[in-house]
């Protein structure tokens, strides 16, 4: 099989046969941390290339073509360039908060990224309050953005940070409510439990309300990553670059990387909660046993990444197709449209689980 579980348990056995227990654990924790950081950076590089290519094709261009075959080495060249750039110090700003803000954004993004379950065996954190943990830890980013905007001592960053604060705090509500709708259906908050409950049929095909929840989650998640029609905090034609104008070199690079990985994290959580995570696509019927067997042959990590990148492509499609909203339209969309729908949807899902399902069971 092409699963990674074999390799992981081989590493564990090799370490525990030659080291005491505490050293084994220490080495494994460090390895897991380094692995996550490497994956984080790699996914950011892939997404940056993907974004540039997809954007180019939407605008009938070719995008980067010179570095490597079909421009494949472009993000690595960009990475080396941005690592060597100067970090320009500002004259009158709060340096401590300026750099703390950056790390808050990155830590919030990385901790949310750690909750993703990439395959059957590749699981970082699996708390029994998984969904709640994801909602809680992702709010670190808001704090980082607010502090970044203030500590840059610039009116554009300040306006950007204010917009970001209003936007993120509002859209957290409907993304949280649509995740809770699925928690009602799955009966657990543990992400592995939710994925386990989808082994026969994905949640998407279990109830009609899941579709509504998924659409709302994708819109709200898209808004939470400050992209697409919702990129008011960094609207380049109004605020030049919003809350991260004053960051230069790799400090700007980290904001950029964090934004791209957040996009993947939103897609990954959507995958785990609505599309069965790493579960293969199954048709729950007698005659489809052969089809299900073929689907099981595909390794689970491939399933996860295929679905997650599918949702990322959807997000890119939206980003390059719609014009930017105004701030009042943005808040109108959240508070007067998405919020009531998701509250009603949650109520209907609760009725489905408590009344309709026992009726037909």
CA-based angle 227:229:234, to the nearest 5? Answer: 50
Measured from the CB atom, the residue of 165 and 310 that comes closer to other proteins is 165
- The CB-based long-range contact list for 101-104 (8 Å cut-off, 24+ gap) reads 101/144, 101/145, 101/146, 101/147, 101/148, 101/151, 102/144, 102/148, 102/247, 102/251, 102/254, 102/255, 103/144, 104/140, 104/141, 104/143, 104/144, 104/147
Measured from the CB atom, the residue of 188 and 201 that comes closer to other proteins is 188
Which residue, among 231, 101, 111, has the nearest Cα to 171 in the 3D structure?
231
Which residue, among 266, 260, 342, has the nearest Cα to 307 in the 3D structure?
266
Candidate list 63, 173, 188, 280; residue touching other proteins; CB under 8 A: 188
Q: What is the 3-state secondary structure (H, E, C) of 29-86?
A: HHHHHHHHHHHHHHHHHHHHHHHHHHHHHHCCCCCCCCCCHHHCCHHHHHHHHHHHCC
Residue 7 makes CB contacts below 8 A (sequence gap 6+) with none
Q: Nearest approach, Cβ of 151 to other proteins (angstroms)? A: 8
349 lies in the site for other proteins, by CB under 8 A = no
Which residues partner with 206 through β-bridges? none
Which residues partner with 117 through β-bridges? 123
Q: Nearest approach, Cβ of 183 to other proteins (angstroms)? A: 9
Q: Nearest approach, Cβ of 165 to other proteins (angstroms)? A: 6
Candidate list 142, 182, 330, 338; residue touching other proteins; CB under 8 A: 142
Interface segment toward other proteins; rule CB under 8 A; list 59-67, 150-158, 320-328, 335-343: 150-158
Measured CA to CA, the distance from residue 332 to residue 328 in angstroms comes to: 6
Candidate list 4, 52, 100, 192; residue touching other proteins; CB under 8 A: 100
192 lies in the site for other proteins, by CB under 8 A = no
| Residue positions counted in the chain | 361
Q: Nearest approach, Cβ of 335 to other proteins (angstroms)? A: 12
DSSP class of 117: B
Q: Report helix, strand and coil shares of the chain as percent, to nearest 5.
A: 75, 0, 25
143 lies in the site for other proteins, by CB under 8 A = yes
Q: Nearest approach, Cβ of 58 to other proteins (angstroms)? A: 35
158 lies in the site for other proteins, by CB under 8 A = yes
Within residues 13-52, the interface with other proteins by CB under 8 A covers 22, 25
Interface segment toward other proteins; rule CB under 8 A; list 49-57, 90-98, 236-244, 316-324: 90-98
Measured from the CB atom, the residue of 134 and 338 that comes closer to other proteins is 134
Measured from the CB atom, the residue of 147 and 245 that comes closer to other proteins is 147
Candidate list 150, 203, 301, 352; residue touching other proteins; CB under 8 A: 150
Q: Nearest approach, Cβ of 149 to other proteins (angstroms)? A: 8
Interface segment toward other proteins; rule CB under 8 A; list 37-45, 64-72, 141-149, 330-338: 141-149
Q: What is the 3-state secondary structure (H, E, C) of 300-348?
A: HHHHHHHHHHHHHHHHHHHHCCCCCCCHHHHHHHHHHHHHHHHHHHHHH
Candidate list 70, 96, 317, 335; residue touching other proteins; CB under 8 A: 96
Candidate list 46, 97, 215, 314; residue touching other proteins; CB under 8 A: 97
Q: Which residues bind other proteins (CB under 8 A)?
A: 22, 25, 94, 96-97, 100, 127-129, 132-133, 135-137, 139-140, 142-143, 146-147, 149-151, 158, 161-162, 165, 169, 172, 188-189
């Amino acid at each position: 099989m092409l699963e990674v579980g074999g390799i992981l348990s081989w590493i564990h056995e090799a370490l525990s046969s030659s080291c005491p227990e505490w050293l084994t654990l220490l080495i494994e924790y460090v390895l897991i941390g380094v692995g996550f950081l490497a994956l984080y950076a790699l996914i950011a590089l892939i997404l940056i290339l993907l974004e540039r290519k997809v954007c180019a094709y939407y605008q009938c261009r070719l995008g980067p073509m010179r570095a490597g075959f079909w421009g494949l080495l472009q993000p690595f060249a960009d990475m080396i360039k941005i690592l060597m750039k100067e970090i320009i110090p500002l004259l009158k700003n709060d340096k401590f908060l300026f750099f703390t803000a950056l790390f808050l954004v990155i830590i919030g993004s990385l901790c949310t990224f750690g909750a993703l379950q990439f395959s059957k065996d590749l699981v970082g954190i699996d708390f029994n309050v998984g969904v709640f943990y994801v909602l809680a830890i992702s709010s670190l980013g808001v704090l980082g953005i607010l502090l970044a905007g203030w500590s840059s001592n610039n009116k554009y960053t300040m306006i950007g940070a204010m917009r970001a604060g209003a936007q993120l705090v509002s859209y957290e509500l409907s993304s949280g409510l649509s995740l809770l709708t699925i928690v009602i259906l799955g009966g657990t908050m543990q992400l592995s439990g939710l994925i386990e409950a989808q082994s026969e049929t994905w949640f998407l095909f279990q109830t009609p309300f899941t579709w509504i929840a998924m659409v709302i989650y994708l819109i709200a998640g898209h808004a939470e990553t400050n992209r697409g029609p919702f990129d008011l905090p960094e609207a380049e034609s109004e605020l030049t670059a919003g809350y991260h104008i004053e960051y230069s070199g790799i400090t700007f690079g980290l904001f950029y990387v964090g934004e791209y990985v957040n996009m993947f994290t939103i897609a990954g959580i959507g995958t785990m909660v609505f599309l069965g995570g790493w579960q293969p696509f199954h048709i729950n019927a007698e005659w489809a046993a052969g089809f299900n067997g073929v689907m099981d042959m595909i390794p689970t990590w491939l399933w996860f990444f295929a679905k997650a990148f599918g949702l990322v492509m959807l997000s890119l499609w939206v980003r390059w197709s719609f014009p930017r909203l105004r701030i009042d339209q943005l808040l109108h969309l959240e508070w007067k449209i998405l919020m009531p729908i998701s509250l009603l949807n949650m109520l209907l899902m609760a009725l489905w689980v408590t009344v309709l399902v026992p009726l037909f069971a």
